Structures are given as C-alpha cells and as structure tokens.
A and B are shown apart, each in its own frame.
Chain A
C-alpha cells in the first residue's frame, strides 16, 4: 500500500511537465523541489538534532557563490559543482565547530551571527562577490548529454536530486546513526553516559545538513543563473526555517510540504500583495502560537482523533506519543 502510494506519487511528479499547464507552473514546481531539498537539509539539524540554525542560507549561498565564481573563472561545470560542494562542506565544518560551542539558544545566536557574516562578505567583498550586483552565470550543465536548459528538463533533474535527498533522509531516520541523533536531541546527557560521542554525532549531522544545503545552492544557482546577497540574507534563512517548522520539523515529509506551502504562498501573495515580508512574519507568529508542531504532525493528530475510538481519544489527549519532554 505504502509502496504503491509512493510509486503513484513519483509517477505523478515525473509527469508534472505534461499536466502542469505551462512553463510558469513547471518553474514553480522546480523551485518547490529545490527549496524542499534545502529544507530537508535544514531539518536534519532542526528536527532530528534539535539544533535550530538561523544561518543556513549562508551555506546555500557559499555553494552558489563558489560555483558562480568557478564558472565565471572559466572552469567547467563538473569542476564548479565539485568545488562548490567541497566549499559548502568546509564551511559547514567551520560553522559546526563554532556553533556547537553552544546548544539551544546559544546555537541559534551563533548561527545567526555566522549567517550575517556571510551576508556581509557577499555584500561588501566586491572584488570576489561583485557586491550588491551579484554574479550572473550563463548556461546550465548537460549531464550525460542531457541538456538542462529547458524548464521541464531542469525540473526532471531537480526531481532526481530531490528523490535522492528524500531517500537519504529516509535512510538516516531508519539508521542507527539517526536513532543516535534523535537520542542526542532528547537526552544528550544520557547519550553521553551511554558512551556516545554527542559532539561528533552533532558534527556529522551538521555536515550532512551542509551537504544538502550546498546541493540546493547549486540548484539555486543553475535555476536562477544568478546569485546576489539577497540569497544569503537573514530573511532567506528564516524562510527555510519557516518551511521546516510549518510543515513539521522532525518528520520526513514536513519540510517538503512546508517548502511547497511557502513557495506557493510567496508566488500567490506576491501577485496580490507586495508586502510578502509582512505575510511571512505573520505566518511565523500564527504557526508558533496556534500550530507549534507544524502542519504534517498537526494534520496527523487531527486524523488520529477523527478515526480513533473514544477511549483512545481520551488517552491521547493526556499525552501525545513521541512528544518531547518539556524542560
């Protein structure tokens, strides 16, 4: 049943360019998948490690800027992609070493400061980043002779990467490492007492998160064929966090749903109102106050309530299973 649904979803997604009805919608779908990859990467930290990063757009931007510089410097696509991913991983390692000096709010503040520093460099270091004007690149790669220039081809390539990202997340969740990671989120002291290297587990999670953020950064660059400081602004980090939280952090599909929600909202809202930032802020506040665990868990809970028998309904009202212990 589950596999059938999965296969059906995949077929529907793969056939999207044929039924979406126009380049505009195909491009929106590409954007959703691209940001879903980014949100999945961020979710490794926010959802499974319990470490909230507000500087992740910095990692995406470092990959995008790295690739853009390599491409404008005359290197090939392969070199640009490899170089950008290596750069993103190195940056993630540096971010991790610094940010993991703190947990909880300390982690948030340090990642925020790091993200703003990346923004400051992108904005100010004009000889490298071209400042506010950003860097344009021309041409998309053609892996195995399959040109990605057209919107639908680019969409399919993004879909393949997205499926890989989602698959890696499913593997992470099922793996012992994933269980250990969730352990460090819920009970770091106990995990340390059991002999787990809590710092190393978190560090590796940060690297994984940084890797997918870098991949998203590459897709971002190739999709827009342009990168500017706006890509690394605090708003971008906050948007990614909103995707994770609104969909439901610590769930497999939550970030994907959240990415779809935010991108569709952004495109719809920007068509009718120019104050997108206000709407973004308002959604943030509303979700935190009214639906703190996000759409996917919220909807699942609602579904359970509707389908559950009265006796279990009373029990589930007392303590929802899997709820994090309050501090």
Chain B
C-alpha cells in the first residue's frame, strides 16, 4: 500500500478522534460560553480509566463506555460545584478549568506513573481488512465508522429531538430560551456531561493508536482549540470539517515536515482568523 494511502487513512482516523473530542468542546463553548480547558484532561483520563478497567478484566467496549461515564460524572461534578458558581465570569472559568487540568494531570502522573500506558486493540478488530484491493487496518476503519455514527447521532440529537431543539435555542439566545420556559441550567449540566463523555470515550478508542501518557492532555487540547477556531464554535458541521482538516494537516505535516508539523497545523488557522474570524461555519458575533 502506498505511503499516501496510509497517511490518508491515518488522517481520517485521527480526524474522527478529534471530532469526538472537539464536538463536545464546541457544544460546551457554544451553549455555556465556557472555554473548558479540562477537555484534554477528560480525553487523557478516559484512556487511563479504560486501561485500568481492562486490566481488571473488563472488555474493551464496556470499558470504553464505563470510562466515558466516569469522566462524564467528573464533568458533572465540576460543572455543578465549580463552574456554576462562576457563571458569566469567563476569565474565572478559564483559570479554574486550567487549574483543574493541572491537578488532574498531576494526579494521573501519581496514579499511572510517567510511563506510557498501552491499551490493546480489541481482538475482533485486529488485523487488516481488504477494501477495493487494499488492506486497511481494521481498527482504524472502525474508528472512522464510529466517528461517522456519532456525527449522525449528534446531528439527529440536535436537529431532530426536543432536547436538541432546546440546546439550539440555548446556543442562540439563552435569555430568550429561559423566558420560553426552558431550564437552561439543566441543559448546561446535560451538555457538559455529554461533552465530557465524548472526550473520555475518544480517549479510550484513541488508546490503541496513541496510547496514554503524561502530556497527552496538553497535546490534544490545542488541537481541539484549532478545530473549534477553524470550524466555528457551537457548530457541529464546523467541528466535523475542522477535525478532518486538522487530522490531515497533522498527519501529512508530520510525515512531510516533521520539524514543522505544528506550524503547518497553524497556517490554516491563521488564514481563517484573518479572513473569517468567526470560523468556517460559525455565525458572526452580534
């Protein structure tokens, strides 16, 4: 298989992971105006939880779901106990989530040590699958499929359900949504937990590819930021497109200009900021 095809498959896989990560970030930011800097920590924490759960005998997929739930529970606690008290104070929220991310990183270092933790590929998805004459790694195909399924599910949730309609109303105009009788504060908790779950789940299914190691949180967080700046906040489509752009740039950049992978990543963000500061699919601020 040619190098380019390998790179393309890796890019799509990585883009899928980034989508799971940044969709939650984008939703939380779009609805609550909370720049959740613990999002990278949620990703890393999901991976660590799953590694331990698998070690205790749980299967890969149950571990992935349970780890996501654990991370979501943590997210719920953070939202209820801390972020709620700081509603409207964006700077305070930035600082608190940043402080929390340091604390989580340090606790992880203590519990799981500094060595990378590997999560094994689930047995059913090991090996390669032949598609159109080429052999693709099955697990990477599966991740891409999962990302697509989640994209459709999230779209359906936001666009087709009552809850989704309430969330969209909250994103557009929280004040009016409150007046119309929507309990926006409960929506906040739901969306925050959902975003945390997605990040934790992404951390688990990314585990077999990336493994889990200290510093993973601060590596993923800027990528999520770049995705959201590219795609526009609060836009699901923006997250999807942005994720795949970043996925491709990151993988091709690392292969072609290994020393400048970060700069390659940053150029389109620069371009978008200059030409369209609200992001590709974002709406301009009123």
A residues at B contact (CB < 8 Å): 52, 54, 98, 101-102, 104-106, 108-110, 112-114, 116-117, 119-121, 124-127, 233-235, 238, 241, 245, 275, 277-278, 280-285, 287-289, 292, 326-327
CA distance A247 to B64 in the complex (A): 43
Q: Mostly helix, strand, loop or mixed at chain B's interface?
A: helix
What number of A-B contacts does a CB cutoff of 8 Å give? 118
Shortest distance from the beta carbon of A4 to any chain B beta carbon, whole Å: 37
The reply to whether A113 and B269 form a contact with Cβ atoms under 8 Å apart is: yes
With A98-B270, A120-B262 as known contacts, state yes or no: A112 contacts B99, CB within 8 Å: no
User: Residues of A contacting B110 with CB < 8 Å?
Assistant: 275
Interface pair A121/B263, CB less than 8 Å apart: yes
Chain A binding site: helix, strand, loop or mixed by DSSP? helix
Q: Which residues of A contact B99 (CB under 8 A)?
A: 280-285, 288
> 9 A-B Cβ contacts within 8 A?
A98-B274, A105-B33, A106-B277, A108-B35, A113-B226, A117-B265, A120-B262, A121-B263, A234-B218
Contact code string B19-44 (vs A, CB < 8 Å = 1, else 0): 00000000001000101010000000
Q: Known contacts A124-B260, A124-B261; is A281 also within 8 Å of B88 by CB? A: no
- By a CB distance below 8 angstroms, the chain A residues around B86 are 288-289
Is there contact, CB below 8 Å, between B258 and A124? yes
Q: Which residues of B contact A98 (CB under 8 A)?
A: 270, 273-274
Which one of B94, B98, B262, B274 contacts A105 once the chains associate, using CB atoms below 8 Å? B94
Which B residues lie within 8 Å of A288 (CB)?
A: 86, 92, 95-96, 99
Complex-state Cα separation, A285 to B101, whole angstroms: 10
In the complex, whether B136 has a CB less than 8 A from a CB of chain A is no
Using CB atoms, name the residue of chain B closest to A275.
B106
Residues on the B chain within 8 Å of A121, using CB: 260, 262-263
**How many B residues are at the interface, by size bracket?**
35 or more
Interface check B105, CB cutoff 8 A: yes
- B263 / chain A contacts, CB cutoff of 8 Å: 117, 120-121
* Most A Cβ at <10 Å: residue of B106, B218, B263: B106
Q: Is the CB of B98 within 8 A of A238?
A: yes
Bound: A288/B269 CA distance, A: 31
A112 nearest CB neighbor, chain B only: B225
Instruction: Determine which of B82, B95, B218 lies in contact with A245 in the assembled complex, contact meaning CB atoms within 8 Å.
Output: B95
In-complex Cβ contact of A277 among B106, B229, B273, B274 (8 A): B106
Report the minimal beta-carbon distance from B253 to chain A, rounded to whole angstroms.
10
Please, how many angstroms separate the alpha-carbon atoms of A275 and B111 in the complex? 12
Q: In the bound complex, do residue A326 and residue B258 qualify as a contact, i.e. CB atoms below 8 Å apart?
A: no
Q: Is there an interface contact between B90 and A277, defined as CB atoms closer than 8 Å?
A: no
Could you say which residues of chain B place their CB within 8 Å of the CB of A275?
106, 110
Nearest first, the 9 A-B pairs at minimum CB distance are A284-B99, A120-B262, A281-B102, A281-B103, A278-B106, A116-B222, A281-B99, A285-B99, A277-B106
